Amino acid sequence: MNKLFVITIILLSFGSILFAQELKLPSNPLDGRIVFEEKGCIVCHSISGYGGTKGPDLAREQYYGSFLELASIIWNHIPAMNRKFRELHIKRPRFSEKEMQDLIFFIYYLRYLGEPGSVSNGKKLLSSKGCTNCHKIAGHGSNIAPDFTELGEYSSPLYMAQIMWNHGPSMQKRMKELNIPYPVLTGDNLNDITAYIRQVSSVSTELRMSPGNPLNGKLIFENKGCTNCHQVSGGKKKTGPNLSELNLNKSVTEIAAQMWDHSPTMIEYMQEKSLTYPMFKGNEMADLIAYLYFLGFEDPPGDPSKGETVFEEKGCITCHDGGAGPDLTKIKPFNSRIQILQRMWNHASKMEDLLLIQNNKWPQLTTEEIRNLYAYLTSIIQKK
Amino acid sequence: MEIKRRDFLKLLSGASGAVALGTYGCSDIIDVPEKLIELAQKGPGIVTWTNTICGQCSAGCGIKIRRIDGIPVYIKGNPTYPVNRGGMCPSGHSSLEVLFNPDRVKEPLKRIGLKESGKWDSISWNDALQLIADKMIELRNVGKPHQVAFLDGSDQPGLMNKHIAQFMKAYGSPNYYQSGQLKNNTAPYRLLQGINQLPSYDLLNSKYILSFGSNFLEEGYSPIYYTKIYSHLRDSSEHGRTRIVQIDSRISLTAANADLWIPIRPGTYGALALGIAFVLIREKLFDDNFIKNYSFGFNDWTDNKGITHLGFRSNVISNYYPEQVSKITGVPAETILKIARDLGNSRSSVVLGDQGTVDNTNGTFSQMAVHSLNALLGNFGKDGGVYFVDLPPLADLPPFDEDEIAALGNSKKPVAQSLDTNYPLADFSIDSFTKNILNDDPYPIDILFLYKGNPLFKTLNHHDFAETLKKIPLVVSFDPFITETSEYADIILPDHTFLEKWDKFCNTPTVGFTHVGIQQPVIEPLFSTRNAADVIIELSNKIDQSVANALPFQSYENEIRFSVEKLYNSGEGAIISEGVKSSWLEYLQQRGWQIGRYNSFDEFWKLLTRNGGWWNPIRQTKDYKELFKTPSGKFEFYSQNFANIINKLIETTGGESPENREKVLHSLNISVRGDKVFLPHYEAVPIEENMPLYFITFKLLTNRDGQSSNQPMMQEMFGYTVREYWNSWVEINPETAQEYGIEDKKDVWIESPIGSIKVRARLNPGIMKEVVAVPFGLGHTSYGRYAKGYGTNPITILKNKYDMINGNPALQATKVKISLAT
């Protein structure tokens, strides 16, 4: 086992100490697109078809997981990627801490942005979900509620979701009066419906939201009273579900649909308890959902005893326990957990060469392994 | 005064920025007000950068101005502005020399003595505007508002042209003209596609670019945009290098950077295009599906009266076989065969034409022939082909009620419209404008406004245009400098330089995406100058409430804000910023997102002015119905639009008869007869048989239209390719020079049927043996110390010939002889 690998493991261990710290949310996860382009990631990887084809497309409805899961994916594909760099004569990029942070947030964020809707599916959904029982569109449907054709300016999915949410209580009341079943939305339903509305709309203006700001979303979550019923990240148990435990690794419109589906129960409960129903304006819903989405970025703690096994089985111990590895206690502390991945990445090229010279293989680490390894190394460092 | 070149070079080699201002502020090189010099020397030295739009030409590049304590000291390209992506031409780079130019008009001037006497007196803004307003009121009171004309030489799409048009319409005159060639250049597309717009070309996705005289790297609508594309094409080798073939009479900058240069006789580009069409047709290299379903007049056809008409195919096959075309163009038949085969077998391939093709008496027909190749290749709306960019969603100026006087004035025939059958597709014809005003036909012009362009320096018929300016009782110029044209003005209302003013530009012609650029002041006006747009608002307020109602804005800045508020509301596109590329915009917009975050219009405006502009690179897929607004709804090889125009001319000149038809066609310099008239065809340029050499002009990046002649740096760089500075030269092929006993760097006389000029000979194998060429831009007789008296204006020996269809000057239609000057 070579020295660089050990260094990397040490870096990982320091990261685990800091990992207990509160997650620092990004204000604009899209900043990483600049890194993605400028560092040449786009030469091999595409985002829904925009970019190169040498590597996998990073945005085909794919969720890559938490920070450590992403770190594991990146770590494991370093040798293959290095081979590609050499084959294409591309200079391997180095990242600053900020660049690595932006890139990771960006890749994590892609799933949130969603996919374009299907016009044909949207047309079917408007009918099958009973929307046309009240609304008219392209000359078909009822006049009870506003004509969708004239509401084209709200036809971006999230704007529509926000309006639906805000009108939720009055809409549900009216639906009850008319004995119309409450439409349940799943998957990309909202995307498809708005894609169809956009196509038939006659208005020239279209209101859109900006991709959400998770930092702002957290404030909205607190200020709109969501914390009255919901807990996040292991807080005190509350009436509503713990949002950290829900599967919110979805696109923004899927999460919006999930919110929509739970709104009747919520409205009823809030009316009972005389609580104020939260209304959203401007970009608030996008921000809130971005915050909820980023709850999945945080990792659960690992198991130190399992981590010790990983440390031994992956050969870390060979160099670290009296071998060529550095003294863990003398490693320069990290400013943030992102710095671990940044240093891993920047040193990986030399480490790969050393492993090759010594006829050793690149140590593949699963997410579970990397998580447990963190926990183990943290405990060692704490003892020291 | 004489320039001391040593002083100028000293300035260049000395310190830059504020130090330079402090040291040389009072010198003859640049003229900086005392208060700025003091600030430059004693200020805290705080550096700021401001984004704006360059105003040196109509390309509208985004620029960043470095300021120290608010004083502009350096200009560079704005890297996020999508048109130029950080690139800049040398003229824009050194445009601080315009701001601090010692020859600026610093206050309103009133001429004393005769026109062209060069004697001026100062006049207050209020007195000058009142004087003009009184004359305009007087004309309206006697029902003659149409006797006011406005000549706008900006050739720039944006808000200013709409602003002036609104003012003129509310006042009651149909005589507002953009004197550039932008609108006239759309004539071929009007005839073939029914579209009043220049196309854009998807060069980035094309594998083979065939350019007919289009010197897009130097003389295009935005050379820097094309340079950026060119460098990208040359940088990408992954999918095979894009080949560029340049057809031109001389090695232009584009030809020099192309893979292949094909020399061609001036005025014969159309014939070559048809020769290439011949091979594409014979070898079945055309897009059969497009031709069958979306074109009209390709094959012979029969009308509803049962008359059979000649189609494009038959005409080309009969008349434009390579051997025949070779005789006309001077291009070897084997070369024609090779280009055509390469073009037809390289998909995507695209064909474009400009300068060499259009600057001639047969420009419209030649460009029709060139554009027909795109139809044969089925290039419309296709990757690597031809497309038409959408207009940005900007607000129109508010509607207003035209009063009776204005309505009557607007109903009059425009004075720049030909009174006979000439120039049927001209939006503006300087020839008609001049002739009609000199003849008071259909009515006299009493007031003429001049905004930008210096038309007298550029016009072919210099003498008549000067007489026109002399004849008009009140000529008002907005020039910030005294130019050849404003020497004839009665009043000069000096405009700000572009670094001191607000303006808005959109969609630089042929640039391949929708965009808006905001020009904003980066310094308070140095002198008592005013934005011409604001002056027009002031004038409208002084003239009449009904005129004032048409421009209900406190300032032009407010008008710009009004116009762009619709952009904010549209939710389309994005304010330009780092990392906002077309792919991201498209990615986000497909998913219902907008990339910017602005909660109010004020926030949007703040960001818009901070970053410099807005764009929407997403190309909407257009239905063929939108692309072909012709009578058949298809691409018309046989232009029914043109047939209708000719029929209408015949009708208005005595009705249909063989004699009348002959008369009309003859007046339009059309030599072919029958159906060939309406098909893309080759028209020979009328030339003087006793003159042995073709004479052409060209423009350089350092001084594209003569405007940069008052920038000493541009004079210092003028002929950077041949090392000729502050002077003109003539390019002569060494073999031709030998024939005439001319040596390199010796002075020669160039004699045309209308005059002679003396210039320095520069021998150059990159020009055809039968052609000589002189750069345009120098030879000013006015325009300040750096411009006046340097070099020669080649326009002065060009014959007064025009494209008889769209009225554009024929810059390559004069032949000359040369001799060694002794």
- Interface membership of B592 toward A (CB under 8 Å): yes
Q: Is residue B567 part of a domain?
A: no
Per-residue pLDDT, averaged over A81-104, amounts to 87
Q: Is residue B809 part of a domain?
A: no
- The C-alpha atoms of residue B433 and residue B426 are separated, in whole angstroms, by 11
- Interface membership of B284 toward A (CB under 8 Å): no
Comparing CB atoms, the residue among A37, A47, A158 nearest residue B592 is A158
Does A206 contact B571 at a Cβ distance shorter than 8 Å? Answer: yes
- The C-alpha atoms of residue B534 and residue B732 are separated, in whole angstroms, by 48
Q: Whole domain around residue B432: which residue ranges?
A: 109-184+395-561
- The C-alpha atoms of residue B620 and residue B623 are separated, in whole angstroms, by 9
Of B233-237, B391-395, B454-458, least confident by mean pLDDT is: B233-237
**Mean pLDDT estimate for chain A:** 80
- The pLDDT confidence band at residue A24, using thresholds 50, 70 and 90, is confident
- The pLDDT confidence band at residue B208, using thresholds 50, 70 and 90, is very high
Nearest CA in chain A to B595: A210
Give the pLDDT score at A60: 66
Residue with structure tokens 């607007």?
B410
- The C-alpha atoms of residue A107 and residue A65 are separated, in whole angstroms, by 10
For residues A12 and A344, the answer to whether their CB atoms sit within 8 Å is: yes
A1 is written with which tokens?
């086992």
Q: Is residue B70 part of a domain?
A: yes
**Can you state the percent helix, strand and coil of chain A, rounding each to 5?**
60, 0, 40
Query: Beta-carbon neighbour count of residue B426 at 10 Å?
Result: 25
Same-domain status, B309 and B454: no
Pick B313 or A226 by higher pLDDT.
Answer: B313
- The pLDDT confidence band at residue B6, using thresholds 50, 70 and 90, is low
DSSP string covering B521-590: -SS--SSS---HHHHHHHHHHHH-HHHHTTS--SSHHHHHHHHHHHHHHH--SEE--TT--HHHHHHHHH
CATH at residue B731: 2.40.40.20
Same-domain status, B300 and B226: yes
- The C-alpha atoms of residue B310 and residue B305 are separated, in whole angstroms, by 15
- The C-alpha atoms of residue B96 and residue B98 are separated, in whole angstroms, by 5
pLDDT tens sequence across B304-313:
999 999 999 9
Give the pLDDT score at A321: 67
Contacts of B583 in chain A (CB under 8 A): 47, 50-51
Per-residue pLDDT, averaged over B116-121, amounts to 89
DSSP string covering B554-569: SSHHHHHHHHHHHHHH
> Domain end: B540, B561, B582, which one?
B561
The length of chain A is: 384
Same-domain status, B267 and B354: yes
* Domain count within chain B: 5
Same-domain status, B603 and B731: no
Angle at B374 between CA B370 and CA B377, to 5 degrees: 135
Same-domain status, B432 and B550: yes
Does A206 contact B578 at a Cβ distance shorter than 8 Å? Answer: no
> Domain end: B44, B64, B99, which one?
B99
- Strand ranges (E), chain A: 46-47, 50-51, 136-137, 140-141
For the complex shown, is ipTM > 0.90?
no
pLDDT tens sequence across A100-115:
999 999 999 988 888 8
Dihedral angle computed from the Cα positions of residues A70, A74, A75 and A76, in that order, rounded to the nearest 10 degrees: 100
Of A105-119, B298-312, B642-656, B702-716, least confident by mean pLDDT is: A105-119
Output DSSP code: residue B241.
P
pLDDT tens sequence across B514-525:
999 999 999 999
Q: Is residue B755 part of a domain?
A: yes
Give the pLDDT score at A329: 56
Same-domain status, B67 and B152: no
Of A372-376, B390-394, B424-428, least confident by mean pLDDT is: A372-376
- Interface membership of B237 toward A (CB under 8 Å): no
> Domain end: B63, B78, B99, which one?
B99
**Which among B806, B759, B816, B818 has a CA at the least distance from the CA of B362?**
B806
- The C-alpha atoms of residue B195 and residue B627 are separated, in whole angstroms, by 7
Give the pLDDT score at A20: 39
Same-domain status, B369 and B243: yes
Give the pLDDT score at A46: 85
Q: Is residue B76 part of a domain?
A: yes
Per-residue pLDDT, averaged over B435-440, amounts to 96
- Interface membership of B692 toward A (CB under 8 Å): no
Same-domain status, B429 and B535: yes
Contacts of B578 in chain A (CB under 8 A): 34
**Mean pLDDT estimate for chain B:** 93
Asked if the model's pLDDT at residue A3 lies above 50, the reply is: no
Mutation choice for B interface testing from A160, A196, A208 by most B CBs within 10 A? A208
- The pLDDT confidence band at residue A12, using thresholds 50, 70 and 90, is very low
Give the pLDDT score at A115: 84
Give the pLDDT score at A327: 60
- The C-alpha atoms of residue B679 and residue B296 are separated, in whole angstroms, by 11
- Looking at chain B, the whole-number percentage of residues with pLDDT higher than 90 is 82
Nearest CA in chain B to A30: B595
- The C-alpha atoms of residue B507 and residue B157 are separated, in whole angstroms, by 7
Give the pLDDT score at A21: 41
Give the pLDDT score at B55: 94
Which one of A195-204, A207-216, B25-34, B162-171 scores highest in mean pLDDT?
B162-171
Asked if the model's pLDDT at residue A18 lies above 50, the reply is: no
Comparing CB atoms, the residue among A37, A50, A113 nearest residue B593 is A113
- Residue A372 C-alpha, separation from nearest chain B C-alpha, in angstroms: 37
Q: What are the CA-CA distances from residue A123 to residues A154, A161, A195, A258 (Å)?
A: 17, 17, 9, 21
Mutation choice for A interface testing from B238, B593, B621 by most A CBs within 10 A? B593
pLDDT tens sequence across B236-276:
655 578 999 999 999 999 999 999 999 999 999 999 999 99
**Which among B270, B259, B207, B192 has a CA at the least distance from the CA of B237?**
B207
CB pairs under 8 A between A and B: 67
Give the pLDDT score at B194: 97
Per-residue pLDDT, averaged over B395-411, amounts to 96
Phi-psi region of B150 (alpha: psi -120 to 50; beta: other; left: phi over 0): beta
- The C-alpha atoms of residue A383 and residue B335 are separated, in whole angstroms, by 83
Amino acid B204 reads L
Strand duo B386-387 + B349-353: pairing: unpaired
Per-residue pLDDT, averaged over B325-342, amounts to 96
- Residue B584 C-alpha, separation from nearest chain A C-alpha, in angstroms: 8
Which one of A122-136, B127-141, B237-251 scores highest in mean pLDDT?
B127-141
Q: What are the CA-CA distances from residue A20 to residues A220, A294, A311, B389, B543 (Å)?
A: 24, 16, 21, 53, 74
Give the pLDDT score at A2: 45
CATH at residue B138: 3.40.50.740
pLDDT tens sequence across B574-609:
899 876 667 777 788 788 887 777 778 999 999 999
Q: Is residue B808 part of a domain?
A: no
For residues B118 and B430, the answer to whether their CB atoms sit within 8 Å is: no
- Class of residue B409 by CB neighbours under 10 A (exposed 0-12, middle 13-18, buried 19+): buried
Neighbour order of strands in the sheet with B208-212: B260-263, B243-248, B208-212, B349-353
Nearest CA in chain B to A210: B594
Same-domain status, B232 and B306: yes
Q: Is residue B688 part of a domain?
A: no
- Residue B572 C-alpha, separation from nearest chain A C-alpha, in angstroms: 8
B540 is written with which tokens?
């409208």
For residues B111 and B469, the answer to whether their CB atoms sit within 8 Å is: no
Same-domain status, B600 and B633: no
Does B593 contact A47 at a Cβ distance shorter than 8 Å? Answer: no
Per-residue pLDDT, averaged over A252-272, amounts to 87
pLDDT tens sequence across B91-111:
999 999 999 999 999 999 999
Same-domain status, B195 and B299: yes
- Interface membership of B570 toward A (CB under 8 Å): yes
Query: Which residues pair with residue B734 across a beta bridge?
Result: none
- Residue A214 C-alpha, separation from nearest chain B C-alpha, in angstroms: 14
Asked if the model's pLDDT at residue B14 lies above 50, the reply is: no
- Looking at chain B, the whole-number percentage of residues with pLDDT higher than 70 is 96
Q: Is residue B704 part of a domain?
A: yes
Give the pLDDT score at A205: 65
Same-domain status, B384 and B404: no
- The pLDDT confidence band at residue A8, using thresholds 50, 70 and 90, is very low
pLDDT tens sequence across B544-554:
999 999 999 99
